[in-house]
C-alpha cells in the first residue's frame, strides 16, 4: 500500500485505507493518497535492480490483499525477479489494508477471509518465499484503529479494540495453519511493533504501572502468538477470556523497533500522545482504570522531529528481553529506521547513517549477549506514503522525487552497503 500505487489496476478493490483517504482527506498531510505511491507496481524491475546494486540479500514487502488473486500474478513476477537477483523474498501478508467489503476486524469472517487469501498466496509463492509474516504490527492497527481513532476504522472504544485485536490474532493463527497445510518452504512468523517500557518513577506503583504497560503494549500479542493465550493478569483486568482453537507456533519473531515508551503511575485516565504531523502531538485519552500514564522521557535524549526518542539501547534491551522471555526463538529485526523531513531529491542524510549505525551496534551487543538475531531489515528501501504523514516523513535509503518519482540513492544507501561489503560504490552507472 505504501509504495505500489496503481490502486485501481487489475481489479484491485478498495481497502479501509483507500476509503479513509477519500473520506477524511484533511487528516492526511497535504491530502496525500497512496496514489501514486512510488509507482512500484509499474517500476518494480528498476527497484529490484536497485536492491541488487545496493547489496541487499533480502527484501521484505507486503502483499496487497485487496488485489486478490489477480494481484498474485504481480507478486509472482516480483518473487521471480528477486530470486533471479539472488535476493531472499520476505512476505508480509497483511499490512493494514483490509478490503473494505469486510468492514473491520471486529467482523469474525475477516479472519476466515484472510486465511483464504493466505492459502492463495501460499499456492502461488510458497516454493520461493524465504520468510512469511502473517501480520504487520497488529498492536499498532488496534491502537490507532480502535483506541486513538487516528487510523481507519477510526473508532475510539477500548472494548471494541480488544474484540478486533482478538480477530487479528485468530487471523494470525489461521493463516499460519494454512501456510503449514500448504507445505510452504519458508520460515513462518509475524512482525510485532515492540517498545521497551521504561519506568519514569522510583516507587513500587510506578514499577507496577510499567509492568501493566508492558503487558498491554508488548506481551498482549506476544503471548497470544507464542503461547496462544493473553497475559493472565492483564486479560483479567479488562475481562478478556478468549482463547484460540488451534494456536500455531512461529519459527521466528519479527521485531519492529523505533523507540521506547516511558511510563509512570497515575490515578488519571491514561493519555496517549502521538505526533502525526511533525508539529504537535495529538492527545488521546483512554481509561485503563487509571493504572498507568505515558510520560515524556525524563532524560535529555535526542528526538526526531516527530518526537520519537532516539534510543539504540532500547533495541539491545528489547532483543535481550525477547531472548530471556522466549529462549530459543529466532529473532529478526523486521523494521528499524528514522523518518526525516527530506525533499525526495537530496542525497545527504548523515542523521540516518548515525541512527542506523548506532542501532546496528545495539544488535551486535544483543548478539554478544546471546540473542539469536538472524537479520536486520531497515525501514525502508525507498521514501513512501507514510500513512497520516503522507509523503513528508521520509524513511528511504532511496530518495523518491515528489514529481518524477525518480529514485536517487542517499548517502545512507552506500554507507549501509559498505557495512556489509567493501568498496560499495559500483563502477557501473546507477539504474
Ligand atoms: C511502522 C509501519 C510501517 C512504517 C513505519 C514508519 O509502524 O509498520 O508501515 O510506516 O512504521
Res. 285: pLDDT tops 70: no
Q: Ligand 1: distance of its center to the CA of 193 in Å?
A: 9
Q: pLDDT band at residue 296, thresholds of 50, 70 and 90?
A: confident
Looking at ligand 1, which atom is closest to the CA of residue 136?
A: 8
Res. 61: pLDDT tops 60: yes
How is residue 141 written as a grid cell? 492497527
Q: Ligand 1: distance of its center to the CA of 278 in Å?
A: 15
Give the pLDDT confidence score for residue 124 in this predicted structure: 98
Q: Catalytic: 137?
A: yes
Q: Ligand 1: distance of its center to the CA of 336 in Å?
A: 9
Regarding the beta carbon of 136 and ligand 1, being less than 6 Å apart is answered yes
Convert the pLDDT of each residue in 308-359 to its tens digit. Answer: 999 999 999 999 999 999 999 999 999 999 999 999 999 999 999 999 999 9
**Residue bearing the CA closest to ligand 1, atom 5:** 379
Whole-number Å distance between alpha carbons of 138 and 145 = 10
Convert the pLDDT of each residue in 15-34 to its tens digit. Answer: 999 999 999 999 999 999 99
Q: What mean pLDDT is predicted for residues 194-211?
A: 95
CB 368 within 8 A of CB 11: no
**Residue bearing the CA closest to ligand 1, atom 4:** 386
Looking at ligand 1, which atom is closest to the CA of residue 191?
A: 8
Average pLDDT, the chain: 94
Q: Ligand 1: distance of its center to the CA of 190 in Å?
A: 14
Give the pLDDT confidence score for residue 431 in this predicted structure: 56
Res. 103: pLDDT tops 80: yes
CA-based nearest residue to 225, from 194, 198, 197, 196: 194
Regarding the beta carbon of 308 and ligand 1, being less than 6 Å apart is answered no
Q: Catalytic: 245?
A: no
Q: What mean pLDDT is predicted for residues 224-235?
A: 95
Res. 279: pLDDT tops 80: no
pLDDT-above-70 percentage for the chain: 95
pLDDT-above-90 percentage for the chain: 87
The topology under which CATH files domain 251-260+298-431 is TIM Barrel (3.20.20)
Residue matched to cell numbers 527497484:
47
Whole-number Å distance between alpha carbons of 354 and 338 = 10
Regarding the beta carbon of 286 and ligand 1, being less than 6 Å apart is answered no
Looking at ligand 1, which atom is closest to the CA of residue 137?
A: 8
Q: Ligand 1: distance of its center to the CA of 97 in Å?
A: 13
Convert the pLDDT of each residue in 386-398 to its tens digit. Answer: 999 999 999 999 9
Regarding the beta carbon of 414 and ligand 1, being less than 6 Å apart is answered no
Regarding the beta carbon of 334 and ligand 1, being less than 6 Å apart is answered no
Regarding the beta carbon of 97 and ligand 1, being less than 6 Å apart is answered no
Active-site residue (options: 4, 137, 316, 342)? 137
Res. 426: pLDDT tops 60: no
Q: pLDDT band at residue 68, thresholds of 50, 70 and 90?
A: very high
Q: Ligand 1: distance of its center to the CA of 354 in Å?
A: 20
Most confidently modeled range among 159-163, 188-192, 272-276: 188-192
Q: Ligand 1: distance of its center to the CA of 137 in Å?
A: 8
Res. 266: pLDDT tops 90: no
Whole-number Å distance between alpha carbons of 130 and 311 = 30
Res. 300: pLDDT tops 90: no
Active-site residue (options: 4, 316, 335, 342)? 335
**b (16+ CB within 10 A) / e for 252-275:** bbbbbbbbbbbbbbbeeebebebb
Res. 287: pLDDT tops 80: no
Regarding the beta carbon of 386 and ligand 1, being less than 6 Å apart is answered yes
How is residue 128 written as a grid cell? 520461493
- pTM for the model stands at 0.95
Give the pLDDT confidence score for residue 345 in this predicted structure: 95
Res. 166: pLDDT tops 80: yes
Looking at ligand 1, which atom is closest to the CA of residue 193?
A: 7
CATH superfamily membership of 1-193: Glycosidases (3.20.20.80)
Residue matched to cell numbers 512482525:
191
Whole-number Å distance between alpha carbons of 70 and 16 = 19
Give the pLDDT confidence score for residue 392 in this predicted structure: 95
Regarding the beta carbon of 336 and ligand 1, being less than 6 Å apart is answered no
Regarding the beta carbon of 326 and ligand 1, being less than 6 Å apart is answered no
Give the pLDDT confidence score for residue 422 in this predicted structure: 65
- Range of weakest confidence among 13-17, 36-40, 148-152, 331-335: 148-152
The pick from 64, 93, 256, 339 for probing ligand 1's pocket by mutation, whose C-beta has the most ligand atoms within 8 angstroms, reads: 256
The pick from 151, 387, 389 for probing ligand 1's pocket by mutation, whose C-beta has the most ligand atoms within 8 angstroms, reads: 387
Convert the pLDDT of each residue in 369-381 to its tens digit. Answer: 999 999 999 999 9
Give the pLDDT confidence score for residue 428 in this predicted structure: 47
Q: CATH 3.20.20.80 region(s) of the chain?
A: 1-193, 251-260+298-431
Q: Which residue has better confidence, 224 or 271?
A: 224
Give the pLDDT confidence score for residue 283 in this predicted structure: 67
Q: What mean pLDDT is predicted for residues 199-210?
A: 94
Say if strands 340-341 and 393-394 run parallel, antiparallel, or are unpaired.
antiparallel
Amino acid at each position: 500500500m505504501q509504495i505500489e500505487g496503481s490502486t485501481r489496476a487489475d481489479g484491485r478493490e478498495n481497502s479501509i485505507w483507500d476509503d479513509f483517504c477519500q473520506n477524511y482527506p484533511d487528516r492526511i498531510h497535504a491530502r496525500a493518497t497512496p496514489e501514486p505511491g512510488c509507482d512500484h507496481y509499474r517500476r518494480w524491475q528498476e527497484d529490484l535492480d536497485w536492491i541488487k546494486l545496493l547489496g541487499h540479500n533480502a527484501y521484505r514487502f507486503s502483499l496487497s490483499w485487496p488485489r486478490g488473486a489477480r494481484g498474485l500474478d504481480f507478486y509472482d513476477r516480483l518473487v521471480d525477479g528477486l530470486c533471479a537477483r539472488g535476493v531472499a523474498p520476505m512476505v508480509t501478508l497483511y499490512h493494514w489494508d483490509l478490503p473494505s467489503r469486510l468492514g473491520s476486524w471486529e467482523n469474525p469472517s475477516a479472519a476466515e477471509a484472510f486465511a483464504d487469501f493466505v492459502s492463495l498466496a501460499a499456492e502461488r509463492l510458497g516454493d520461493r518465499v524465504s520468510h512469511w509474516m502473517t501480520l504487520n504490527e497488529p498492536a499498532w492497527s488496534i491502537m490507532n484503529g480502535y483506541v486513538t481513532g487516528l487510523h481507519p476504522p477510526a473508532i475510539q472504544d477500548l472494548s471494541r479494540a480488544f474484540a478486533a485485536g482478538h480477530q487479528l490474532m485468530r487471523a494470525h493463527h489461521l493463516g499460519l495453519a494454512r501456510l503449514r497445510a500448504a507445505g510452504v518452504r519458508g520460515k513462518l512468523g509475524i512482525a510485532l511493533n515492540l517498545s521497551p517500557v521504561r519506568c519514569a518513577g522510583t516507587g513500587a506503583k510506578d514499577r507496577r504501572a510499567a509492568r501493566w504497560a508492558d503487558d498491554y503494549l508488548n506481551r498482549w500479542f506476544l503471548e497470544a502468538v507464542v503461547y496462544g493465550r493473553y497475559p493472565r493478569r492483564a486479560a483479567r483486568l479488562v475481562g478478556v477470556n478468549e482463547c484460540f482453537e488451534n494456536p500455531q507456533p512461529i519459527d521466528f519473531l519479527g521485531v519492529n523497533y523505533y523507540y521506547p515508551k516511558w511510563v509512570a503511575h497515575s490515578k488519571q485516565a491514561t493519555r496517549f500522545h502521538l505526533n502525526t504531523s511533525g508539529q504537535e502531538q495529538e492527545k488521546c485519552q483512554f481509561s485503563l482504570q487509571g493504572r498507568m500514564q505515558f510520560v515524556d522521557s525524563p532524560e535529555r535524549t535526542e528526538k526526531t522531529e516527530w518526537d520519537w526518542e532516539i534510543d539504540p539501547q532500547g533495541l539491545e534491551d528489547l532483543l535481550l528481553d525477547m531472548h530471556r522471555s522466549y529462549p530459543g526463538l529466532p529473532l529478526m529485526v523486521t523494521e528499524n529506521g528514522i523518518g526525516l523531513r527530506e525533499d525526495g531529491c537530496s542525497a545527504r542524510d548523515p542523521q540516518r547513517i548515525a541512527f542506523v549505525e548506532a542501532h546496528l551496534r545495539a544488535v551486535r551487543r544483543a548478539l554478544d549477549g546471546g540473542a539469536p538475531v538472524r537479520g536486520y531489515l531497515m525501514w525502508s528501501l525507498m521514501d513512501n506514503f507514510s500513512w497520516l504523514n503522507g509523503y513528508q516523513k521520509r524513511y528511504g535509503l532511496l530518495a523518491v522525487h515528489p514529481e518524477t518519482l525518480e529514485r536517487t540513492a542517499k548517502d545512507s544507501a552506500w554507507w549501509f552497503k559498505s557495512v556489509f561489503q567493501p568498496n560499495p560504490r559500483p563502477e557501473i552507472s546507477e539504474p
